[in-house]
């Protein structure tokens, strides 16, 4: 396994749509997933998408730390989830604004509106289908990661850019921003 270099905002790989994975069971996909996991852990991230490591394929991973899940319906802590060729279906048009950071936008945080309740589907690295309903932070991190596959970074989802700021200043001034890990 190796730690991969993370692309930062401004790199074209973060702006274009990524391609579907033709064979989720291929050895190079297993290698990519292992390297992404090591990279995400090294960077203390809550999630990571393949284009963030300069690989324009539809692969994302994330986890829901106990401190982020509210315990509300479908917003429970979750271990590592890896999704190949994920799809998101919005189940509730309601959006909630919450703090996000991104490993590709280092040093900054922003308040981002996201759908509160979604269904996501994808293929796990072992080939098993994944089909889950998610709410709260679980829904937020899945939307953030899947946006990377379409060339979208969280500032592009923000509706109030006055709430984009430096991590240390946002954390100093907003109590709810304390436990936010970049994704
Ligand atoms: Ni991100």
Calculate the CA dihedral of residues 17, 18, 19, 25 and round it to 10 degrees.
-160
What protein residues have CB closer than 5 angstroms to ion ligand 1?
102, 183
Query: What's the 60 CA to ligand 1 centre distance in angstroms?
Result: 10
Catalytic residue among 28, 38, 145, 183: 145
Sign of CA dihedral 18, 91, 102, 31: negative
What span, in angstroms and rounded, lies between the C-alpha atoms of 179 and 30?
Answer: 30
Strands, DSSP E only, in the chain?
Answer: 47-49, 59-64, 78-102, 105-123, 129-135, 164-166
Q: In the predicted model, what is the mean pLDDT of residues 3-12?
A: 98
Average pLDDT over residues 146-152: 98
38 a catalytic residue: no
70 pLDDT band, cuts 50/70/90, is confident
pLDDT higher than threshold 80 for residue 71: no
68 pLDDT band, cuts 50/70/90, is: confident
Predicted confidence (pLDDT) per residue in 99-130, tens digit: 999 999 999 999 999 999 999 999 999 999 99
> Is 51 in contact with 7 (CB distance < 8 Å)?
yes
Distance CA 51, CA 21 (A): 13
pLDDT at residue 12 greater than cutoff 90: yes
CA 103 to ligand 1 center in whole angstroms: 5
> Maximum CA pair distance of the chain?
46
Of the pLDDT bands very low, low, confident and very high (cuts 50, 70, 90), residue 55 is very high
CA of 95 to the centre of ligand 1 (A): 19
Tell me the CA–centroid distance for residue 66 and ligand 1, in Å: 20
CA of 22 to the centre of ligand 1 (A): 24
């Amino acid at each position: 396994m190796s730690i991969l270099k993370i692309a930062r905002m401004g790199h074209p790989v973060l702006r274009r749509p990524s391609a579907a994975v033709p064979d989720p069971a291929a050895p190079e996909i297993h290698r990519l997933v292992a390297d992404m996991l090591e990279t995400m852990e090294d960077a203390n991230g809550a999630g990571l998408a393949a284009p963030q490591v300069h690989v324009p394929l539809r692969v994302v991973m994330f986890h829901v730390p106990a401190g982020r899940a509210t315990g509300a319906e479908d917003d429970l802590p979750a271990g590592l989830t890896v999704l190949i060729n994920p799809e998101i279906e919005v189940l509730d048009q309601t959006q909630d604004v919450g703090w996000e950071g991104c490993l590709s936008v280092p040093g900054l945080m922003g308040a981002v509106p996201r759908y509160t309740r979604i269904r996501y589907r994808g293929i796990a690295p072992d080939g098993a289908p994944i089909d889950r309903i998610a709410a709260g932070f679980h829904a937020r991190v899945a939307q953030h990661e899947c946006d990377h596959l379409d060339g979208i970074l969280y500032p592009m989802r923000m509706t109030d850019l006055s709430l984009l700021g430096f991590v240390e200043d946002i954390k100093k001034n907003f109590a709810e921003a304390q436990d936010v890990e970049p994704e």
